[in-house]
Amino acid sequence: DIVMTQTPLSSPVTLGQPASISCRSSQSLVHSDGNTYLSWLQQRPGQPPRLLIYKISNRFSGVPDRFSGSGAGTDFTLKISKVEAEDVGVYYCMQATQFPYTFGQGTKLEIK
């Protein structure tokens, strides 16, 4: 199975400041079709996960442009340009290149 490792596991951030979460996979996420199936999900307290970013850097419908994704191969990053109060929650990276799909451990974003 592909192991997804996120850092940090907890990220206290001041409102209006940027935040960054890293995700590393145990093997390349480049699929044989040339795509890299790396997504980022947000889970607010008491809510189901919500798709933010797919295929490394594509924002899903309705996702604010303060969220951005980047990376390649085995190293990926989610950035929030200016954190807002509604961004509090746990963020997960997820790979869908190979079964079983696997998730990172989650990074808890909280406001200082």
Residues that bind another protein (CB under 8 A): 31, 35, 37, 39, 41, 43, 48-51, 54-55, 60, 92, 94, 96-97, 99-106
Contacts of 61 (CB under 8 A, 6+ apart): none
Closest distance of CB 50 from another protein, Å: 7
Between 16 and 46, CB nearer to another protein: 46
Between 85 and 99, CB nearer to another protein: 99
Between 11 and 37, CB nearer to another protein: 37
What's the CA gap between 15 and 6, in Å, rounded?
22
